[in-house]
Amino acid sequence: MPSRLLTLTALASIAALLAAPAQAAGDEPVTALLETPALFDEDDADADDPAIWIDPEDPADSLVVATAKEAGLYVYDLQGRELQHVDPRPAPGDDDAPGRYNNVDLVSDFTLHGEKVDLAVASDRGMDNLGIFKIEDGALVDVTDPDAGWIFSESQAEINDEHTAYGLATFQNRSGAYALVSRNAESEVALLKLKADGDHVTWDKVRTLQLPADFDLPNGDSWKPCDDTGQDPQVEGMVVDESTGTAYLGQELVGIWKIGADLKGEPELVDTAVEFGLPGTYDPETDECNYGDNPGYGGDVLHTDIEGLTIYSTGRGQGYLLASSQGDDSFAVYNLRGRNAYLGSFAIESGAVDSTQHSDGADVVNASLPGYPGGLLVVQDGDNTPEGADESSTNFKFVAWQDVARNSGLHLRVHCGR
């Protein structure tokens, strides 16, 4: 897709966001009730993205499935206790990378070998494919078709360049189950249709979407986000509103796009990062960007990177889009309907456990679960500080949605369903 001026629709949306009222503070801070055990860099364990599975027979047995990159997948119970660890796939060769599970999402009531099963689907950045697991008796069972092939790459050498599967979101409609998969270091997103093949699950690539990698600014300059040489601005956080068939795509250094989940039509910007249009030059010696003055073309809410996107439904097609604003350790909340008006932001402060910073991934459900009235919000904490530990670590924080609605000061609703 060629570079271009922002559409009038997008500019109008941004103008509306700038006019939105400032965040109001709640009487009490939003805090997490508990956290999962720390994952340490020295063990190649890096928490990234969670997905909440609700047990239809006994909600108390619900699970949180989470990625830890080169440390594989972890499964936790509602108390944050580890129930299962799934190792990543081994490297195919001595000079190749091992599996690296980056993002995860769920599919319910998928017909596999004549029975309805729930699936956990993870993007494998190291292998450029998916890891697909049946949820059975509270555990993950690998049902990935070993012959499914690569998603973006044509060879192992291309995989080793790491322009591979990255972000992921699943959705279902009358025609089946699908996954949106973004590509590392590229602005490309693929639509895959999941299908059963005997006892395994495979996929077909339906189409791809190429988001803009550079932009024409209102002053006539051309702008591309500053990043490592040769890399385009990638998407990671994604979520689909199944009630409308709308996909929301978080382009980390640019903003949040919306488009039909079938990836047809023209994408529209919901909001842009504060740093949108910020001039910068990459310095290979420091592996950092040297920035100039911000010209003020971006929004005033999201600070890069724009990360985990998730939806809290309040019923009847209503609800909230949440986005992790990693640069200021906050979560932005947008109306799910209409022009996705910005409603305000909140942070997860220190309480029973430490606060949340630099959050990568998030997931929320609207069903009340034991200990989590109104639903459960699980977020990755990119700077976990367990007591007595000096090593760098990450983990996941569990937050009751009722506490977000009550203490954020944003007058958010709580779903009245089960």
Q: Which of 170, 235, 154, 157 is nearest to 203 (CA)?
A: 170
| Token pair 């999402």: residue | 105
Give the per-residue pLDDT at 24.
44
Q: Provide the 3-class DSSP secondary structure of residue 227.
A: coil
Instruction: Look at residue 201 and tell me if it is in a domain.
Output: yes
Instruction: Look at residue 412 and tell me if it is in a domain.
Output: no
Q: Provide the 3-class DSSP secondary structure of residue 234.
A: coil
Q: Is the dihedral of CA 130, 131, 135, 136 positive or negative?
A: positive
Between 12-16, 92-96, 225-229, the lowest mean confidence (pLDDT) is in 12-16
Q: pLDDT tens across 159-187, in order?
A: 999 999 999 999 999 999 999 999 999 99
Q: How far is residue 336's CA from residue 340's CA, in Å, rounded to a whole number?
A: 5
Higher-scoring residue by pLDDT: 329, 5: 329
Range of the domain at 402: 8-407
Give the per-residue pLDDT at 18.
37
Element (H, E) at 15: helix 8-18
Confidence label for 388 from pLDDT (cuts 50, 70 and 90):
low
Q: How far is residue 130's CA from residue 151's CA, in Å, rounded to a whole number?
A: 8
Range 386-414 average pLDDT: 90
Q: Is 161 left (phi over 0), alpha (psi -120 to 50) or beta?
A: alpha
Q: How far is residue 78's CA from residue 353's CA, in Å, rounded to a whole number?
A: 15
Confidence label for 13 from pLDDT (cuts 50, 70 and 90):
very low
CATH number, domain with residue 198: 2.120.10.30
Q: What DSSP line would sit under 247-263, residue for residue?
A: EEEEETTTEEEEEETT-
Instruction: Look at residue 369 and tell me if it is in a domain.
Output: yes
Give the per-residue pLDDT at 14.
35
**The two structure tokens encoding residue 289:** 């960007």
Range 269-292 average pLDDT: 93
20, pLDDT greater than 50: no
Range 329-355 average pLDDT: 97
Range 43-52 average pLDDT: 94
- State which amino acid sits at residue 400: A
Q: How far is residue 398's CA from residue 417's CA, in Å, rounded to a whole number?
A: 20
Query: Residues 146, 150, 156, CA angle at the centre, nearest 5°?
Result: 100
Give the per-residue pLDDT at 377.
98
Confidence label for 227 from pLDDT (cuts 50, 70 and 90):
confident
Confidence label for 229 from pLDDT (cuts 50, 70 and 90):
confident
Q: Provide the 3-class DSSP secondary structure of residue 241.
A: strand
The sheet that has 165-173: what strands, in order across it?
A: 165-173, 176-183, 188-197, 200-210
| Token pair 């904490």: residue | 381
Q: Calculate the average pLDDT of the chain.
A: 92
Give the per-residue pLDDT at 26.
53
Contact yes or no for 188/152 (Cβ under 8 A): yes
65, pLDDT greater than 60: yes
Instruction: Look at residue 94 and tell me if it is in a domain.
Output: yes
What is the value of pTM for the model shown?
0.92
Give the per-residue pLDDT at 389.
61
Higher-scoring residue by pLDDT: 283, 263: 263
Please, which residues bridge with residue 84 across strands?
A: 75
Q: How far is residue 391's CA from residue 49's CA, in Å, rounded to a whole number?
A: 21
Contact yes or no for 189/209 (Cβ under 8 A): yes
Instruction: Look at residue 184 and tell me if it is in a domain.
Output: yes
For the chain, the domain total comes to 1
Instruction: Look at residue 416 and tell me if it is in a domain.
Output: no
Residue 319 burial (C-beta neighbours within 10 Å; 0-12, 13-18, 19+): buried
Confidence label for 41 from pLDDT (cuts 50, 70 and 90):
confident
Instruction: Look at residue 180 and tell me if it is in a domain.
Output: yes
Instruction: Look at residue 418 and tell me if it is in a domain.
Output: no
Range 296-320 average pLDDT: 95
**The two structure tokens encoding residue 202:** 């495979």
Q: pLDDT tens across 105-153, in order?
A: 999 999 999 999 999 999 999 999 999 999 999 999 999 999 999 999 9
Q: How far is residue 305's CA from residue 222's CA, in Å, rounded to a whole number?
A: 21
SS3 content of the chain, % helix, strand, coil (to 5): 10, 45, 45
Confidence label for 43 from pLDDT (cuts 50, 70 and 90):
confident
